[in-house]
Amino acid sequence: MKKILFVSSEAHPLIKTGGLADVAGSLPIALAELGQDVRILLPKYQSLKLAEEVEYRCTIRTDNRDVNIFETRLPETNVIVWLVDYPDYFGAPGNPYTDEFGNAWVDSAERFSLFCRVAVEISQNRAYLDWKADVVHCNDWQSGLVPALLTMEPNRPATVFTIHNMAYQGLFSKEDYFQLNLPGQLWHPGALEFHDMLSFIKGGIACADHITTVSPNYALEIQTAEYGCGLEGLLHHRHHELNGIINGIDVDIWNPGTDAHIAQNYTDKDLAKKAENKAALQREYSLPEEPSVPLIGLIGRLVDQKGIDLVIDCLDSLVNYPMQFVLLGSGDKGFEHRLKNLSYLYPDKISVSIGYNERLSHLVEAGADMFLMPSRFEPCGLNQLYSQRYGTLPIVRRTGGLADTVVDALPHTMADKTASGFVFDEPTVGAMLETIKRALLLYSNKRAWQQLQKNAMRKDFSWRQSAEQYLNLYNHL
């Protein structure tokens, strides 16, 4: 049995802004089911949704600050979550990265460097918790200092750094570096320095014993200039210690057969019942309740990564076809504004909900016929997995984890029943439109469509296999 400290800035259902939370709220459960002793480390944000008892455990002194550690559990599990309590940093309303008005925290470097220092203290059993980690599993830049700081410790645990997104690096100035009292020995291009700046993510990439990304394809892509965000050289240099492990999903939370958020439960055996969710979704989005008009859904952060500009540019042409489009998301104000405008122009075809809404995200997955995900890059992507499980066929760009998890509907993949969605290559309006038209055409062939839905719903996206791969990695280290 390994003792694993799983360090993350978010974990569902306690706090979530994106897919990292889904992973941190489900992979540790899968590891625990494989008999491992996993503890999640998370900041004690003011906005945590705490459902289980929370207990004070200890106070750690690090970097001249007293930090309290509280303990709770992931709801309805035995997985322990240690919460890093430092009210000056985590006590105000907002999310992990922005205040309640959406402005990035000005002291992110201070917040997450303290968080990283606490991770080091706990993992080295200097926190009065009577627990020393064998492995520290860090995720994204917010935990990137941990592998770097641990290189300076004797008898340290092994370190794994998982990249969920290269586009967010935690870059700060050289002045910040020294204000944070970080050790001078780590200020060099082989550790935390990146072009005379402090790079949190580089700490993970340069110093962890092993690096993973959340899909095999993205692990290759980030070694190229197109996707490596300036770190492709270092990533390529470390390619022997870098691999991709595809994300699983929580198949209990995302189960159309039992999902309490949707209008009608269904399985691949009684797919006709899915129609009730479509009607409920159309009602909720004030669209005409038309059972036979194909309904395309999209959920996501409205940022460049997700190809939202392509969607906006495509919708003007798409409305000439029989179809409806619903979107749930928030992010870039310009995108929000343009999407709203389109919904005013075409109220019978396009409807947009701006905001974060967990219940509605389940209903979109259950009620739509197709799910659009034209990402410019996508480390793994979870919504295309949820979609397949709900028989809502994804239309995706061939990039990152989308390429690894969606099988394009072509004559031979339809014949061997592996087809589970629609895939296009170029990030252009033309390529996307052609592929959506291909999906709309196939939608009119009920038998073929149902077979695709069944293929998709029968795929195994559970964590079991991927959790085993992580466990092999921990054992190997």
Site residues (CB under 6 A) for ligand ADP?
18-19, 22, 299-301, 328-330, 356-358, 361, 380-383
Phi, psi angle pair for 324, to nearest 5°:
-130, 155
Nearer to ligand GLC (CB atom), residue 378 or residue 404? 378
Residue 449 to residue 455: CA distance in whole angstroms: 10
Residue 18 to residue 25: CA distance in whole angstroms: 11
- Told to check if 381 binds ligand GLC by CB under 6 A, we report yes
419 binds, among ligand GLC, ligand ADP, none (CB under 5 to 8 A by kind): none
Nearer to ligand GLC (CB atom), residue 85 or residue 378? 378
Window 14 to 73, contacts with ligand GLC (CB under 6 A): 18-20, 23
**3-class state of residue 247 by DSSP:** coil
Phi, psi angle pair for 386, to nearest 5°:
-55, -45
Nearer to ligand GLC (CB atom), residue 122 or residue 201? 201
Q: Least separation, in Å, of the C-beta of 30 and ligand GLC?
A: 14
Nearer to ligand ADP (CB atom), residue 324 or residue 384? 384
Among the listed residues 148, 207, 380, 442, the single contact to ligand GLC using CB under 6 A = 380
| 3 state SS for 351-404 | EEEECCCHHHHHHHHHHCCEEEECCCCCCCCCHHHHHHHCCCEEEEECCHHHHH
Window 211 to 230, contacts with ligand GLC (CB under 6 A): 214
In this structure, the strands spanning 55-62 and 65-73 are antiparallel
- Told to check if 327 binds ligand GLC by CB under 6 A, we report no
Nearer to ligand ADP (CB atom), residue 137 or residue 362? 362
Nearer to ligand ADP (CB atom), residue 192 or residue 249? 249
Residue type, 275: A
301 binds, among ligand GLC, ligand ADP, none (CB under 5 to 8 A by kind): ligand ADP
Among the listed residues 85, 378, 404, 408, the single contact to ligand GLC using CB under 6 A = 378
Residue 46 to residue 95: CA distance in whole angstroms: 9
Closest CA to 125 of 91, 153, 163, 93: 153
Q: Least separation, in Å, of the C-beta of 292 and ligand GLC?
A: 33
Kindly state the tokens that stand for 422: 């629609």
Q: How far is CA 322 from CA 233, 270, 272, 311, in A?
A: 47, 26, 21, 17
Q: Least separation, in Å, of the C-beta of 401 and ligand GLC?
A: 6
CB 296 within 8 A of CB 324: yes
Nearer to ligand GLC (CB atom), residue 295 or residue 403? 403
214 binds, among ligand GLC, ligand ADP, none (CB under 5 to 8 A by kind): ligand GLC
Residue 362 to residue 364: CA distance in whole angstroms: 5
Nearer to ligand ADP (CB atom), residue 154 or residue 355? 355
Residue 417 to residue 69: CA distance in whole angstroms: 51
Residue nearest to ligand GLC (CB): 19
Residue type, 407: V
Considering just the CA atoms, what is the radius of gyration of the chain in Å? Answer: 23
Largest CA-CA distance found in the chain, in angstroms, rounded: 67
| Residue 456 CB partners (closer than 8 Å, separation 6+) | 387, 388, 389, 391, 393, 394, 420, 421
Q: Binding segment for ligand GLC among 112-120, 130-138, 152-160, 376-384 (CB under 6 A)?
A: 376-384
Among the listed residues 39, 164, 274, 338, the single contact to ligand GLC using CB under 6 A = 164
Q: Least separation, in Å, of the C-beta of 181 and ligand ADP?
A: 32
Q: Least separation, in Å, of the C-beta of 477 and ligand GLC?
A: 21
Angle of helix 274-284 relative to helix 358-367, nearest 10 degrees, comes to: 130
Q: Binding segment for ligand GLC among 46-54, 196-204, 359-367, 375-383 (CB under 6 A)?
A: 375-383
For binding to ligand GLC (CB under 6 A), which residues are involved? 18-20, 23, 164-165, 214, 247, 378-382, 401
